[in-house]
Amino acid sequence: MENRRSRKWLARNVWNIVFVAGLLLLLFNAGAKVWVLKQLLSVGLFKAEIENKTTNANAMATAFAYQDQKGDVVSSAELRGKVVFINFWATWCPPCRAEMPALNELYEQFKADNRIVFLFMNEDDNVEKANKFISSNHYSFSVMTRAGNMPAEMFGGTLPTSIVLDKQGRIVMKHEGVASYNGTKFKQQLKSLL
């Protein structure tokens, strides 16, 4: 009798159990979050866009120092005259990991153009972990790290954050959160800055 009641209860509540299990999986499994975000990006839900205006930040306010893949400390001020695409990310950040394929595709399309520079600024404490992540996922860009303070206009701690600086070093796009950067419209907007 008890066994029959249990089976009836289970039959009536199977979809509730599946829903709760799926919800728990999304809450506690980073890989599941990444997969869901990738699906949402693939249908064009989160699109990046460069608006036709610059922020109030002047070029001096956006200058910062970073360490390149060779370990050299470089000033972003040295990049004036080039368009600069900056992405702040971390390996432990599911939205960051979800947008990486689109970012890598964008990088691949523009990497031969010396008028644009890509800075993938890793916010992990362990650069080796970040490099291993990039290598294991077959991404072709290099990992950069901050070398000192970052201006608040550039990065306030939200991951991921992507920024585009025009040739004068002014912010023309700042997007906090996940986005797709490999869309035709965004690529055209980026090309128009070159």
pLDDT over 60 (residue 55): no
Residue from 167, 68, 75 nearest 116 by CA = 167
Number of domains in the chain: 2
Q: Verify that 88 and 161 share a domain, yes or no.
A: yes
Q: What is the pTM of this model?
A: 0.78
- The mean pLDDT of 72-82, rounded to a whole number, is 93
Q: Measuring CA to CA, how many Å separate 8 from each of 3, 20, 22, 39?
A: 9, 19, 22, 35
Q: Verify that 118 and 166 share a domain, yes or no.
A: yes
Lowest-confidence pick of 47-61, 71-85, 179-193: 47-61
- The mean pLDDT of 143-167, rounded to a whole number, is 92
What pLDDT score was predicted for residue 34? 73
What pLDDT score was predicted for residue 7? 77
- Asked whether the beta carbons of 163 and 173 are under 8 A apart, the reply is yes
Which residues is 179 bridged to in the sheet? none
- Asked whether the beta carbons of 100 and 181 are under 8 A apart, the reply is no
Q: Verify that 37 and 82 share a domain, yes or no.
A: no
- Which of the 8 DSSP states describes residue 47? B
**Per residue, what are the HEC states of 55-96?**
CCCCHHHHCCEEECCCCCEEEHHHHCCCEEEEEEECCCCHHH
- The mean pLDDT of 132-157, rounded to a whole number, is 93
pLDDT over 60 (residue 50): yes
Position 49 in a domain = no
What pLDDT score was predicted for residue 40? 66
Q: Verify that 70 and 114 share a domain, yes or no.
A: yes
- The residue length of the chain stands at 194
With cut-offs at 50, 70 and 90, classify the pLDDT of residue 62.
confident
pLDDT over 80 (residue 79): yes
Residue-number span of the structural domain to which 129 is assigned: 59-193
- The mean pLDDT of 2-23, rounded to a whole number, is 74
What pLDDT score was predicted for residue 42? 67
Residue from 106, 136, 135 nearest 119 by CA = 106
Q: Verify that 13 and 102 share a domain, yes or no.
A: no
What pLDDT score was predicted for residue 18? 73
